[in-house]
Structure 1
Amino acid sequence: MDIPFSHRGSWFGISPVVAENTWADDLHLVSHRHGMHAILRFTVPGAAVTATPALLSWQRGDGRIDLVYQDPDTVRLRGHRLGLRIAAAAGTLTPFSGTYLYRDPVDGSHVFTSYETGRRYRVTVVAGELASARGAEALGTAERFLDLPADRDWELAIEEFGTARRPYRGAAPFDRLHDTARATFAAFADAVAPWRSPATPAAERAASVLWSATVDPAGFVTRPAVLMSKHWMNKVWSWDHCFNALALAAGEPELARHQFLLPFDHQDDSGALPDSVTHAEVLHNFVKPPIHGWAWQRLRRLGPPISRLDPATIYRRLAAWTRFWLDFRRAPGHELPHYQHGNDSGWDNATTFDGERVVESADLAAFLILQLRCLAELATELGETGAGWTPIADRIRDAMLDELWTGERFEARGAFSGRRRPSTSLLDLMPIVLGDDLPAPIAAALARGIERHLTPHGPATEPVTSADYAADGYWQGPIWAPSTVLIEDGLRRAGQTGLADEISRRFRALCERSGFAENFDARTGAGLRDRAYTWTASSYLILAAAHEQRRG
């Protein structure tokens, strides 16, 4: 079960993943408020688990349990000839951690209340009755669980809420809830991937990753948001969101606008975007690369629904983000901006940052050039005369070519030492994103370099022949979705369409075979790390939609 079973808007899901890279035998109700916390454990010994976007099922022999979302904070379960134990996932209750169980004298329901999430999870029997209950009002290490019987049918509801809620009085019949959930997801899939066909077999699955990872506004999440995952990568990072916005824009423009703008809601006085946003925290310890001008230009090309967003708002926010790099990330007398750490680039441990971490790199310069040119266009539309974005872009472009180009590839330079250090990272080839803003010979050289990174599954972040290559080395070997999309787009705009087509084909085939992992083994194509990562699903949708459009 690679994709957590959840519902658009919900802050919890049903998943075997209970902590980072920790998979349990049982399924758990996992909340993404205040971090990631397994709250309830569902135990059905010997049962097989299956899931569609609308229905989760346990089956053993002729017994079956089904689970469906009634709404984002309520699930209904129905059992036939199969028992179920619902237990507190935490084994110990202390004054500062764990889950307390009590029986509510108002309606007779059983309520698990979680210290970690600050929420309550009420279990109400809708039909049938409990077989047993243990641990109500117990403290310490006592077991806390409810048992549903295997010898008779039953149905119940589990609700997540805050301090109090009116007693559960039932809703539509279970089958009608299932029909509604199925229709709701189908409408979403039809909106974001109307072009899907047997030739794009992963499109509906990609849509389900996005749909199930979407949460309603809560805490620091100021808008409806697509989390990067409802496994443990349950944040919005300030470049990941751009790819989700692009995948959603054509069919869900309102949700796409929210994805693009969410990090800007937390832009600080310097103009910097946060590193990440989640329910309970906004982190500013790092930033992410300024791909937002590139993303906005692509969003605008997708049509009027996105273009209707107030251009003055976009201009103001992009301008502040750009000035951050110009004012706070350029050493005195330098035209080129710098990263303070690999994390700022999004390529945390790329070999570009071996030796020195504070570097002026060509990928950063290229992204900033694109953003400056985007601002110049917006300024013209808004009648902002004398903004001066184009001359700055030209100077940074000239400096990038004069100071970092070796004749075959770019090399990053220490912001303090001034030393250029060669690396074999794909990051040093990322200036291909400039497309036709590059001299043709340089674009051709970058394309040749990208070909040397190409495996049967897509472009490896470190060549598989490199001494620094590591199969599960994060940005030192595996294939990643964002770099693939950026490279494919830049190659296409540089006229290198044959290579762009091949990269798109290989990456789409990789997702169709291996799903939507955070990254992939470059040699085998196996999915690595988080197995339900939304920017990977979005990248598949972006590339597949463009391919289908080209096929006409």
Structure 2
Amino acid sequence: MKVENMKLPFSRYGSYLVISPLYGRNRDPKSLYIRHIRGGDEKDGAIFKIELVRGNQEIDYEVEWAPHVLKLIATDGSLDIVECCFSSDRTIRIKGADVGVKLTAITGSYDYALAFPDQTWEINSFLQERRFRIIPLEGDLNVDAPFEVDKSKHITVHCDPNPISKTFDMAISEYQLMFQHDHALEMPFRDNAEQAANDYQQWQENTLQVPSSFQKGHDLASYITWSCVVKPDGLLTRPAMYMSKNWMTNIWSWDHCFNAMALSEHQPELAWDQFCIFFDQQDDSGALPDFLNDQWALWNCCKPPIHGWTLKHLMKNTAFVTLEKLAEVYEPLVKWTKWWLRYRDDDLDGIPQYNHGNDSGWDNSTIFHKGTPVESPDLSSFLVLQIEVLAEIAGKLGKLDEANEWMLKSQELLSKMIDHFWDGKQFTAKRSGSHEVIESDSLVLSIPLILGKRLPAEILTRLVDDIKHKGFLTEHGLATELPESQFYKHDGYWRGPIWAPTTLLVVDGLIASGEKELALEIAKRFCKMAATSGMAENFNALTGEGLRDPAFTWTSSVFLILGHLLLEK
């Protein structure tokens, strides 16, 4: 594997440190960087560029990757190897033989390096708002960091092999203020790598199983989900599974639901953490932020209210989702639901609206091509289910009057939704206020399938027929825009490519509609594509090629859920 083909970030459970190229950034994708993913995806987080050196001569290398160890193999004919592993979630260890390593710091204003009496060095990165300790374990460590006015002019770290043993061993540990020794560094490198391998193996054993024909995809999905979890810190009150450690280094307020669902069977506590983490930051108005990372939350938009639908799935694991857990989440879910009904219905017609495509999760869907706000049937469908779930929870908690009120509200919204959006042949989207119908060939108009047999039989039949025959279903799965549409683009984000979440929503809706055979066929096509093309952010609907970020957790989670469904059929 060449460096530029390394699409999976090398990291581990709990860590904010990553080794990867910088695809899509203004840096050379042929190089590897040690990165730091605190603070989200507005910065690439590059700390050090990694180079192999023999003396002062730089050596090209290729990458050999495994979940527990990353090998950099010299391509000058020597086949000398430098290996990297995580001794802990805050420390990267680097070891080599017959070849050295050079780390060039990516610096900003005021960044400097400071030597300590124990032969370690601290690099204080104002750019990353963290400190990094360089720890020599074996070999010759040299740091070049000439101080000029108020910062180090540059910072380079050379670690060369010991002249006798011909090997070097060093570590890089991150911290905010006070350095704490990583006792795992007292063990041999191999023991550190083996511990990481054992941790990953335990995770993989707790991952939903899939048919053996998709084993390659299972290995990939297991690694991506394991390695993308970061430990609680700052605004992240619980362990959080990021969408990726490439560049989508946040969690979004519907993505987390799919990850929770994939974890619920074997890791219910972690699943519950994923589900609840956005409610920990809920605004007094009831709104949830669009996304979160350890340092900040974005409130400019939101994501659709699929949380009732998700909670219904989590409640199947009744051994963990106890009455106590339901009591914990009931009021936050009430506030989230009321927020949509109170603050996203400007024309007061009882039908909630999206103020921007990003609010829907279908950012640039063609239902928004004439502008916003837009009333869309998927939003009402999500709220019908969410209100119904609130009725069920209220009943379990002994709030019988509230349960009755919620059930009546769910039925009322369902009736309004059908009257408002169904034109006799299909569901439509409309401009809020004028109720102008928006012409669109987007799959989002089929999402009411999640209501299943709550819909009248003639409507349900038509929705199922559209999935079967209208043209959304390709060899690889469900396109998000009809390929025949004038707006269709192979890499058009929500105007064509196949996405994991929408696939799962439709599959779930088909099962709820009594169309399990069709649901399983769609699941099979998606899993085959993902196992072949990788767990990408989305996929070319006609070729199955992976698009955008190549290592995405909600794709991995949906692959595992659908693959497990195929195993249980």
Q: TM-score range by the shorter chain?
A: over 0.9
How far apart are 1:116 and its partner, in Å? 2.3
Which residue of the partner structure matches residue 3 of structure 2? Answer: none
How many residues align structurally? 543
In the superposition, relative to structure 1, how do residues 167 and 405 fare at CA in structure 2: closer, same or farther (>3 Å)?
closer
| Aligned match of 2:55 | none
Overall identity of the aligned pairs, in %: 37
Q: How does 1:501-540 map to 2 (within 5 A)?
A: 501-540=520-559
State whether structure 2 residue 46 is matched by structure 1 residue 41.
no
Q: Counterpart of 1:396? A: 413
Q: 1:209-224 residue pairs with structure 2 within 5 A?
A: 209-224=224-239
Tell me the equivalent position of 2:130: 119
1:390 and 1:195 map into 2 onto residues whose CA distance is: 37
**Cα 1:258–1:145, aligned 2, differ >3 Å: closer, same or farther?**
same
Give the CA deviation at 1:356: 2.8
CA-to-partner distance for each residue in 1:38-90, whole Å, 9 max, x for gaps?
Answer: 01111133211111111111112331111111110011111012221111024
Inter-partner Cα distance in structure 2 for 1:472 and 1:282:
28
Q: Write the distance in 2 (CA, Å) between the matches of 1:508 and 1:228.
A: 19
Change (3 A) 1:295 1:499: same
How far did residue 143 of structure 1 move?
A: 3.5
Q: Which one-letter code corresponds to 1:439 in the other structure? A: P
CA distance in 1, matches of 2:230, 2:96: 28
1:53 aligns with 2:58: no
Cα 1:408–1:82, aligned 2, differ >3 Å: closer, same or farther? farther
Q: 1:20 Cα deviation (Å)?
A: 5.1
Q: Which amino acid aligns with 2:312?
A: Q
Describe the SS at the equivalent of 2:527.
Answer: helix
Describe the superposition over 1:507-552 as per-residue Cα deviations: whole angstroms up to 9, x where unpaired: 00111011111111111111111111111111101111121122xx
Aligned in 2, Cα 1:167/1:238: closer, same or farther, shift over 3 Å?
A: closer
- For 2:397 and 2:280, the matched residues in 1 are separated by 22
Write the deviation string for residues 171-228 of structure 1: whole angstroms up to 9, x where unpaired: 2111111111101100011012355635433112101101111001111111110011
Q: Is the 8 A contact 1:517 1:536 kept in 2?
A: yes
C-alpha separation in 1, matches of 2:341 and 2:497: 32
1:168–1:342 Cα change, 3 Å = closer
1:448 is the counterpart of 2:465: yes
Contact 2:93 2:170 in 1 (8 A): yes
Query: Which residue type is aligned with residue 100 of structure 2?
Result: G
Q: What corresponds to 1:107 in structure 2?
A: 118
In the alignment, what sits opposite 2:143? Answer: 133
Match of 1:305, SS state, is coil
Residue 268 of structure 2 is matched in structure 1 by 253
Deviation, structure 1 residue 108: 1.5
Q: Tell me the residue number matched to 1:376.
A: 391
Distance 1:18 1:111 in 2: 28
CA distance in 2, matches of 1:314, 1:18: 39
Please give the per-residue CA displacement for 1:465-514, whole angstroms capped at 9, x wherever unaligned.
Answer: 11110111110111111000000000111011222111101100111011
- Write the mapping of 1:392-471 to structure 2, written as runs, cut at 5 A: 392-451=409-468, 452-471=471-490
Cα separation, 1, equivalents of 2:25 and 2:481 = 25
Q: Indicate if the aligned counterparts of 1:196 and 1:203 stay in contact, CA closer than 8 A.
A: no
Q: Choose which of 329, 334, 337 in structure 2 pairs with 1:319.
A: 334
- When normalised by structure 1's length, the TM-score is 0.94
For 2:509 and 2:226, how far apart are their aligned partners in 1?
Answer: 29
* 1:165 maps to 2:176: no
Q: Which runs of 5+ in 2 are unaligned?
A: 1-5, 53-58
What TM-score results when the alignment is normalised by the length of structure 2? Answer: 0.92
Alignment match of 1:225 (pick from 222, 236, 240): 240
SS at match of 2:408: helix
Deviation at 1:137, TM superposition (A): 3.3
Q: Which amino acid in 2 is paired with 1:432?
A: L
Tell me, in whole angstroms, the C-alpha distance in 1 between the residues paired with 2:276 and 2:369.
Answer: 33
One-letter identity of the residue aligned with 1:69: F
Matched, 1:32 2:37: yes
> How many angstroms apart in 2 are the aligned matches of 1:376 and 1:168?
50
